[in-house]
Amino acid sequence: MASRLFSQFRYSLEKDVVDLYAKVTFSGAGNPTSYSGKGIKSVARSAQGVFVFTLDDKYQKVLAADATFVLAAGSFPAAPQMQITDDQSAGSTHAVTVQFANPAGTVATDPANAEVGLFHLQFSNSTAK
């Protein structure tokens, strides 16, 4: 469980919800050129279209994950669809693996060079039911 001070009081049926946000600039078929966001240690490419978000802390489970790509000069994102393929947020690696897909959702695809993605990862930090 994360041992940080988080904002208190949230109207939710889930206990102890934690939101992490990241801004990632991709480099095509390589590791991202930059990322920023509190609570995320690193973002790395592990295979075509597959990226691992390593977290600073351990959480009980993923509640949600969203990605929004920033449009660059009238172009559309190369891989706008995202799925979680592995949730190790409660494990020893503290990581969440995601896969991006082409617009049809049929092929694992890397975001294009210099594309920027805005990410919202939401976790439960409690074992309470």
Q: Check residues 2 and 57 and name the one with the higher pLDDT.
A: 57
Say if 129 falls within a structural domain: no
Has residue 2 been placed in a domain?
no
**27 located within any domain:** yes
Asked if residue 84 belongs to a domain, the reply is yes
Eight-state DSSP code of residue 127: -
pLDDT at 107 over 90: yes
The C-alpha angle 41, 109, 54, rounded to 5 degrees, equals 10
Total domains present in the chain: 1
Percent over 90 (pLDDT), the chain: 67
In a domain, 76, yes or no: yes
Indicate whether 1 belongs to any domain. no
Query: 45-79 burial string, b = 16+ CB within 10 Å, else e?
Result: beeebbbbbebebbbbebeebebebeeeeeeebbb
Q: Is the pLDDT of residue 22 over 80?
A: yes
Task: Give me the mean pLDDT over the 86-115 stretch.
Answer: 93
What's the domain range around 22? 17-124
- For residue 4, tell me if it sits in a domain: no
- Does residue 25 carry a pLDDT above 90? yes
pLDDT in tens, 65-96: 999 999 777 788 888 999 999 999 999 999 99
User: Would you say residue 86 lies in a domain?
Assistant: yes
